[in-house]
Structure 1
Amino acid sequence: MFGAQVVLDDLDLDVEQGECVVLIGGSGSGKSTLLRCLNLLETLDDGRILLDGEDISDPRVDVDAVRARVGIVFQAFNLFPHLSVLENVVLAPVRVHKRPRAAAEQQAREMLARVGLADKADARPDALSGGQQQRAAIARALVNAPALMLLDEVTSALDPELVHEVLTLLRDLRRDGMTMVLATHEMGFARSVADKVCFLHDGRVLEQGPPAQLFDHPREPRTQEFLSRLQL
């Protein structure tokens, strides 16, 4: 709850290892709040979050240890502008997880190569395009080898011509078996990569199912209304 407002209510969602779950719904439906709860950026008033059978919503849990296993990428890139791309990716492994600098830097360079930014390691974020900055932010989240990746409208701040390169990276992660939960307005992308699509409304998963079922044969009137307004 935020004050007297219930943001997520009676929400039940299962995500299997290697599965890509896409959250859709209107603004204020609870998509971003759900992702923030999964990364423990919000405190639950009630309920549980289980990760590999462990209750990570227990107040006694080591939050930093959980966040090393649950990466999150936001709409805004949130890169430190005074640091190079490499330093942005290395920062958490060295400062938070106390990894040796040389090993962390090698791993960061490998991750930047994976997202197509090997030649941008020494550049500052403001020298990169929006799509490159978002890929750097994804590399920063991936460098800790998370068990789960959360992505919150990661293309919404990009110019249309830059959206493709980020979606291509996400398709590659999906192909490699990364477990992902992502909120997006890119319905074509959702249809092509999701194992399961969840329609959120008023803080609840109103309907969920395989993309073909949910997009082509939605059962709930509110889902039908939402999808009817989109060009699919």
Structure 2
Amino acid sequence: MTAVLSARGVRKQYAKTGRPVLEALDVDLAGGECVALIGGSGSGKSTLLRCLALLETVDDGVVWFEGQDICDPRIDADAVRARMGVVFQAYNLFPHLTVLDNLTLAPVRVHKTPKGEARERAVAMLERVGLADKAMAKPGELSGGQQQRVAIARALVTSPRLLLLDEVTAALDPELTGEVLDLLRQVRAEGTTMLLATHELGFAREVADQICFLHGGSVAERGSPADVLDRPQSAELRAYLARQ
């Protein structure tokens, strides 16, 4: 399979902490593959995703996305992000816009899709995620699970080459978590290339082709779900799994 994303030696340090958040981190993602990032708080999962989405700059290393070095300072970051879908814990929906308008904003403004076509795609996507009846609602009128499903729908409506997901169920109660995970199972079954940070180990076991355990800002262990979750090699991974 052709690599969609390849990161080598990624390093990131924040001045406030005085220590690297990411240290010589490597990760690869092939087309149609799902890779799950697991690890404790502060292990670097969210920072890695923010760096890959060009919301943070890396201090060292290289990231290739579809054959393009996206760490090059001359890169058009907006053009790169236009080929990615990104969903964080916070839904980041525009509260003053309807659900439908939230979904059509990027296709029209970034991708220059005609408004009529963008609206048709958005309606179809809302039907796909089971929220067609909420098209004219404002985000504040929806449950947390519904808002997160809208955020995922917004990320998918532009047919991204890569979907980045950062602990998208962390703020949800168990019932709403189930709603979102069911949607992600559907997205995974359709062959979407996904890199997700998650604490839902059962879900990671079910959908991931590969799991990467982050510790101290680097990938401490990687392998199939069975290898990582059932046959941990390091004391750090065994301790992490024992806490879950």
What TM-score comes out, normalization by structure 1 length?
A: 0.97
Residue 14 of structure 1: SS of its match in structure 2?
strand
Write the distance in 2 (CA, Å) between the matches of 1:28 and 1:219.
Answer: 21
Higher relative contact order (CA 8 A, sep 6+): 1
Residue 78 of structure 1: SS of its match in structure 2?
coil
* 1:1-232 pair list within 5 angstroms: 1-3=13-15, 4-230=18-244
The CA deviation string for residues 75-96 of structure 1, in whole angstroms up to 9 with x for no partner, is: 0111111110000111111122
Contact 2:82/2:110 (<8 A) preserved: no
Residue 86 of structure 1: SS of its match in structure 2?
helix
Residue 128 of structure 1 deviates from its aligned partner by 1.1
Write the distance in 1 (CA, Å) between the matches of 2:110 and 2:184.
Answer: 26
Letter in 1 for 2:83: R
Residue 225 of structure 1 deviates from its aligned partner by 1.1
Letter in 1 for 2:26: D
Contact 2:211/2:223 (<8 A) preserved: yes
Write the distance in 2 (CA, Å) between the matches of 1:56 and 1:103.
Answer: 30
Write the distance in 2 (CA, Å) between the matches of 1:215 and 1:5.
Answer: 28
The CA deviation string for residues 193-214 of structure 1, in whole angstroms up to 9 with x for no partner, is: 1110110011000000100111
Which runs of no fewer than 5 residues in structure 2 stay unpaired? 1-12
Write the distance in 2 (CA, Å) between the matches of 1:30 and 1:24.
Answer: 10
Letter in 1 for 2:133: D
Aligned CA-pair RMSD:
0.9
Write the distance in 1 (CA, Å) between the matches of 2:154 and 2:243.
Answer: 35
What TM-score comes out, normalization by structure 2 length?
A: 0.92
Write the distance in 2 (CA, Å) between the matches of 1:65 and 1:112.
Answer: 25
